[in-house]
Structure 1
Amino acid sequence: FPPPHFFMLSIAPLTASGSAKNHTVSVHELTAQMFDLKNMMTGTDPRHGCFLTITAVIFHGQ
């Protein structure tokens, strides 16, 4: 495989710091938000290409 050159980053949850105290997010919902196109930090659409996929997920909290 060729070395990875271009990364597609995503971030979740996208909530305001004041509203995060009142909103509980499940692991399933958080994972779905990570792979949602609107939370991707690139302008590409992964549905229209071939990718060597490596997923690194770090869950932190209670």
Structure 2
Amino acid sequence: LQINAAIYDPLELLGPIILTWKLLIQDLWKMGMSWDEKLEPEEIRRCLELEKAFNQFDVIEAPR
């Protein structure tokens, strides 16, 4: 979940991806999980899927 905190996106080009991370964190919070608890297998799977999707955007180039 540290990936979400490490993203600097002032133009919000990665908004849809960041939103999915924030929704996951929100779901975990609603479940009553604290920061030091281990995730259940389903939540681990969701994290890995989001990480895989995020890694597809290795480099984003924008011409000036």
TM, length-normalised to structure 2? 0.28
Q: Specify the structure having the higher radius of gyration (Cα).
A: 1
Q: Normalised by the size of structure 1, how large is the TM-score?
A: 0.28
